[in-house]
Chain A
Amino acid sequence: MASVAFDRVSKRFGPALVADDLSLEIADGEFFIFLGPSGCGKSTLLHMIAGVEAPSSGCVRFDARDVTALPPQRRDVAMVFQSYALYPHLDVTDNLAFPLRNRGVSRRAAREEAERVATALGLAGLLDKKPRQLSGGQRQRVALGRALIRHPTVFLMDEPLSNLDAALRIEIREEIKRVHQTHRITTVYVTHDQEEALALADRVAVLRDGRIQQCDTPGQVYARPANIFVARFVGTPPMNLVPGTALAHHPAVRARLGRLDASRVVVGLRPHALEAHAAARPDALTSEVALIEPAGAETWVVAGANEMRLKARLAPGAMLEPRASANIVFSAEAVHLFDAEHGHRLD
């Protein structure tokens, strides 16, 4: 078990800057998630922790030790991949035992350990099957088992759930959470799915173009996004963003604006915090309904007024139809303020 630190790490692939002077520290035993759009270099960060890629500059530390020059087989890191990366020519037992065999464990001891891990993950009857004979969920369990079997110092996961269908995804997600709570291994996880990140992480780092936009607990990232990018990326449905001038007259917004110039401000309002009523309400925004989106427990109303489009929750019991008039209410606490030019948070 160890803490992992990036110390001013930059990584360049030709002209592309995948990591830009990144510094952060992941605590021992923490479940840390890198969150960002696809292809923004998150996997490369994992590869640098694993030792399969070297930083262009800066160093990687485990506890206080600089491991940048250490080859992967000496770092005691385990990794789980999106495509599982199970060895196709080995059966489940040999796949699980592979890391142990590489470290000189005897064949018999390794097999016993493999069987133990397999049983713990519910794979008992599959020990002599080859990966191609397993389902996606089973394969991912084997991948997890292979990573766990040697009690690694650091656990790396590269979008492990992306290849699974929705139901399986939830199931394996819970498995991962359970494993982490049991073993408390420092885990660094990479995903583009913000829902996954919010559900699993102790802390989340939102990445864009190699730079960390915000690094905080999921709750904080959701409640107080550091800039417009984070605000739009985290939370479903995405936050409504409106020029300050369009809402400057609204009392709640005016209260929050204080002395700020409305033309230099973008107002953010999460759809969850907006309620759309059919009947008139004090301090409501009147707008015309463009779309109704039923979504199970919620129904979303998309309504516009003066070139402003807002998505809001349909108030319980209310009835609205396209072209009807909607009255949208929200409180001052729901208002987020961002700088119009640079996007950063203003409160």
Chain B
Amino acid sequence: MRSARREALLLLAPGGLLLVVVTALPMLLVLWLSFETRSVFRPPAFAGLDNYLRLAYDPRFWNALWNTVYFALVSVTLELVLGMAIALLVARAGRVRSLVYGAMLVPWAIPTVASARMWEWMYNAEFGVINSLLGAQINWLGDPLLALHAAIAMDVWKSTPFVALLLLAGLQSIPPDLYRAAAIDGARAWTTFRRITLPLLVPVILVAIVFRTIDALRVFDAVYVLTGGGPANGTETLSIYAYKALFQTLEFGYGSALAVAVLAITAAATIIYARLLRAGGQ
């Protein structure tokens, strides 16, 4: 219906407008900003690719990039492996299923900031429960390398249940007849898993990887609150560095360039995974 098209466009318009103003427009603007120098001390001036050149030679940028990529790789891998194990376990939960699901939703529901403070307290060198239980005095958040891994552990704790629930949904969509056929054919547990479960779960696994990787690449809240990016920039991710450049040293131009870098990396990951998803779906 010709007027149906008009109706549809009318219904999409308000939402579309909000999206453009809040998302699309700022995305274009941040690109524009990244080509300027703009700070509290100077009026905005066009600076071409200066910010990006500075970025390329900025060791702190490369440090942040490395931290971010490492964080993403390790946490997503751990979340996937642990999530798979948990999903397989909970799939057999039977009657206590609701209870377990409820518990598993708690880490997801906890505000990230509250979770970070929680872990900060648990990691506390003197009074934290982790050290108390271990009977040790490890300065978890005081050493750059340890702190990065502590942050990874925190993210894994928070996100693994979500991955597990996603994988669980995938497991439940596998027809049970396949398992029965495999049992009749004499397959043992590991073989069944490798030959039947895993291949059928590939689409869901890819979806989980995509979501988690993108979330991990753009991480800000949890790490910022846990460590503030320190010690010695040991846990400073790209988003944190960008935030500091924008709102602490007030260099809007350079900060925007850093933000664009985060955007670029996330976009690249999205495209790669989109290709993989399309291929995996076939």
Contacts and interface: CB of A to CB of B under 8 A. Distances in A.
A266 interface: no
A52 B3 CA distance: 10
B275 interface: no
B9 to A, nearest CB: 15
B8 to A, nearest CB: 13
Nearest to A71: B3
B2 interface: yes
Nearest to B4: A54
B1 interface: yes
Contacts, number: 10
A295 interface: no
Contacts of A120: none
A53 interface: yes
A67 to B, nearest CB: 12
A51 interface: yes
A64 interface: no
A194 to B, nearest CB: 32
Interface residues of A, number: 6
A69 interface: yes
B1 to A, nearest CB: 4
Interface string B1-37: 1111000000000000000000000000000000000
Interface string A272-301: 000000000000000000000000000000
Interface in A49-75: 51-54, 69, 71
Contacts of B3: 69, 71
Contacts of A52: 1
A53 B2 CA distance: 9
Interface in B155-173: none
B99 to A, nearest CB: 31
A53 B3 CA distance: 10
A96 B4 CA distance: 26
A66 to B, nearest CB: 14
6 contacts: A52-B1, A53-B1, A54-B1, A54-B4, A69-B2, A71-B3
Given A54-B4, A69-B2, A71-B1, 6 more contacts: A51-B1, A52-B1, A53-B1, A54-B2, A69-B3, A71-B3
Interface of B: 1-4
Interface of A: 51-54, 69, 71
